[in-house]
Amino acid sequence: MTQPRRRRAATEEKVRRVLDAAEEIMLHEGYAAVTSRNVAERVGLTAPLLHYYFSTIDDLFVAMLRRRSERIVERMAAALTSPRPLRAWWDLASDPRGTALFIEFLAAANHRPALRAEMGRVAREVRRMQMDVLDKILPEYDVDPDEFPPALVAATMQGLGLALVADETAGHETAHEQARAAMSRLVDRIEQRRTRQHGAG
């Protein structure tokens, strides 16, 4: 009875190591460097054994995205229910590592239909969560949801975070640090006003 459990635990550990290695390669070398040979060498496996766990590289990319999206959904849910939801959301949206990985996933998805479909599913789930919460909390920030709908607020938060990290990662001189600091000040000011007027947090 114990033998199958040991094998299952060993398999889960190897899968975790493979996903960790593939994520590090993608973050530091780009999605195109995520190959069977590169990932297998990083974790001390042969390429054929790697394909025992992931039949194709597409399967590996989808597994990477699913694991990361589970974390994203958990962190986003926690951010949106925190005492300062916009501040927590901005910290998440402008996180360099997470956003840099997302940029690589976007690039890879242009060439991998299975990954593109999975990214669409994740994007819909996260955006729906964001908009549901914004529907409830925007009035606390004295924001008229008819004039500034949740879809706009969500796209602005995510889009600005994505743009700043993209420029920062690429080393572009676009005053991204100044924009990041200004956005942080704006979010803090909005949160402080909400706290004064509605007693949040």
pLDDT attached to residue 11: 86
The length of the chain in residues reads: 201
Q: What percentage of the chain reaches a pLDDT higher than 90?
A: 83
Q: Which residue has the tokens 């975790």?
A: 16
Spatial CA neighbour of 161 closest among 139, 192, 133, 130:
130
> Is the per-residue pLDDT at 12 higher than 50?
yes
pLDDT attached to residue 197: 78
Q: What percentage of the chain reaches a pLDDT higher than 70?
A: 95
Give the phi and the psi of residue 200 in degrees, each rounded to 5. -75, 150
CATH placement of domain 1-55? 1.10.10.60
What residue spans of 30-149 are helical by DSSP H? 36-43, 47-53, 57-80, 85-93, 96-109, 113-137
What average pLDDT does the chain have? 91
Q: How confident is the model at residue 200 (pLDDT cuts 50, 70, 90)?
A: low
Q: Which residue pairs from 5-13 have beta carbons closer than 8 angstroms and sit at least 24 positions apart in sequence?
A: 11/53
pTM of the entire predicted model? 0.84
Domain residue spans of the chain:
1-55, 58-198
> pLDDT digit string (tens) for 54-111?
999 999 999 999 999 999 999 999 999 999 999 999 999 999 998 999 999 999 999 9
Spatial CA neighbour of 132 closest among 146, 106, 151:
151
pLDDT attached to residue 199: 65
pLDDT attached to residue 169: 85
